[in-house]
Structure 1
Amino acid sequence: MTIKVGDTIPAATLTKVTDAGPEPVSTTDFFGGRTVALFSVPGAFTPTCSAKHLPGFVGNAEAIKAQGVDEIACLSVNDAFVMGAWGKSANAGEAVTMLADGSAEFTTALGLTMDASKYGMGIRGQRFSMLVKDGTVLQLHVEEPGAFSVSSAEYLMSQLK
């Protein structure tokens, strides 16, 4: 069953790379007590994700945060080292937190997986964005297969006004 507006974010453990190495991130702690803009991409370093999706959130981070968002996070079914390297290559810095869902546990709990096996990628996350406040989904924008519009930074910003 797919998560929907009004639902609570499921408990899971994601991973991010820090200077000290991989660090577990509890979704309960990460999304609790604040407002988070989360966006999901099918894969790090993939064409649309690298050319448009991540750069859009990096470039608009200050404007998004000025509208009451405490943190912006990028989620992908990749390992933490890949997400860390992608974040560095995209100059994500402090603008966007790169979260790895290596086994697709969280993405599966959200009900937002897709099978990209025909592209050699296996089970991945659908392209989406959501706004989460204190662990509750306020907005959810899931793309149609192959599309890139409602999960963009610009679209999410337009929904925050």
Structure 2
Amino acid sequence: MSYSVNKVWLLGNAGADAVSNSLGNGNNVVKVTLATTRGWMEESGWKEVTDWHNVSFFGKLAEKALKIKKGMLFSVVGRNQTFVYEKDGIKRYRTEVVVDMKGELEIIGYHSHSRQERSPQAPAAQQSQPASSPRAPSQPSPHLPDDWRDGEFGADDHIPF
């Protein structure tokens, strides 16, 4: 018996808000584009390239994925799937990361500068609390570790949004 593995793990930023489409069978697919940036050093200095990944969510994770907004940092675990179709007589290919019931989605949030550009919103945990329950003193919004903002994972100026 032959064994193989098709598992993709990505961590990056949403290129646009997630979009939901009906499949016609009562189910929905939620699609979002994820940007990852890779870099390397050359004699002329640091070089970076942004790769764009098409991600499709199904099932319960599709509902969760609708919360993804442009610029949000999120992580997915899914599988690569390539679709073949014909357009104008030309055979074309589209590769997606498919995240279904076997996949994972973690929405991490915005980078520090992105949060400041957006209107303040209460965290989801606070929105679901009953009005009568006492609230803890206001805490600053969680942020990325320092080593993600500087150094190897570099300042956010290379992110394409």
What TM-score do the two structures reach when normalised by structure 1? Answer: 0.25
Q: Which of the two has higher C-alpha Rg? A: 2
Q: If each structure's strand is expressed as a fraction of its own residues, which one has the higher value?
A: 2
**Bigger helix fraction:** 1
Greater relative contact order (Cα 8 A, min sep 6): structure 1 or 2? 1
